[in-house]
Amino acid sequence: MNPSKKFIFLGLISIFIITSLTIFSFAGEEKDYINQALKLIDEEKYNEAVGELEEALALIRNKSSLELVNLFFCEELPQMFGIYNPRESALFGPEETLFFYGEPKNCTYKEIQEGLYQMHFKVEIYLLDSENNVLTGEMNYLDFPLTSRARNSEIFIFDDIPVKQLDLSPSNYKFRFISKNYGSNH
């Protein structure tokens, strides 16, 4: 094997070894934070333990999928995270308004500078008939960029849609929400 091929081969092997060690060390980061939190709990340093657990949770969220949970039709427009009045019925008359509420879970952040974080997710919404055919939809229904000094986890989405604006005949319909996360470090 000529010297330049040996050099390239050794370089590739070095890159592989470094990458393997880096991936292994990242897998242990969450456990390190959790173990430190357990130590702090034993020492009754609860506030410090919370900080360690929050760091572990941030790392775990970065590896998790974004989900949209607690998605409900509501009686009126929700005011804050967790403060909503779910609607009993999903039947709407032509003069009513659809109010909905949902919570994106596992939002991830990218640290854009020391102590400043950016999260960005988008939601697509589609109206389907009873046979799952898309009648109408919007790919960028909600585009939610957020820059903050805190990695907020209590994020909610809401909107109101007048039924008459949809111009539908009486029937059974479904909504499909698709959420995408753009704030992760990977």
Note the pLDDT tens digit of each residue in 52-90. Answer: 999 998 889 888 888 889 999 999 999 999 999 999 999
Q: What is the pLDDT of residue 44?
A: 95
Torsions phi, psi of 182, nearest 5? -120, 15
Note the pLDDT tens digit of each residue in 125-137. Answer: 999 999 999 988 8
* Whether residue 167 sits in one domain with residue 125: yes
| Residue 186 included in any domain | no
* Whether residue 152 sits in one domain with residue 107: yes
Q: What is the pLDDT of residue 166?
A: 87
* Whether residue 94 sits in one domain with residue 137: yes
d(C-alpha 155, C-alpha 146), whole Å: 10
Domain count, the chain: 2
d(C-alpha 77, C-alpha 67), whole Å: 21
* Whether residue 172 sits in one domain with residue 87: yes
Q: What is the pLDDT of residue 70?
A: 94
* Whether residue 164 sits in one domain with residue 88: yes
Amino acid at 83: I
| Residue 72 included in any domain | yes
Higher pLDDT, 184 or 94: 94
* Whether residue 71 sits in one domain with residue 145: yes
Q: Predicted confidence band at 113 (pLDDT cuts at 50, 70, 90)?
A: very high
* Whether residue 57 sits in one domain with residue 69: no
Strands 67-74 and 97-105: antiparallel
Contacts of 173 (CB under 8 A, 6+ apart): 127, 128, 129, 130, 135
User: Residue 80 carries which DSSP code?
Assistant: B
* Whether residue 74 sits in one domain with residue 53: no
Q: Predicted confidence band at 23 (pLDDT cuts at 50, 70, 90)?
A: very low
* Whether residue 151 sits in one domain with residue 90: yes
Residue 117 contacts residue 61 (beta carbons within 8 Å)? no
Range of the domain at 160: 65-181
**Above 70 in pLDDT, residue 141?**
yes
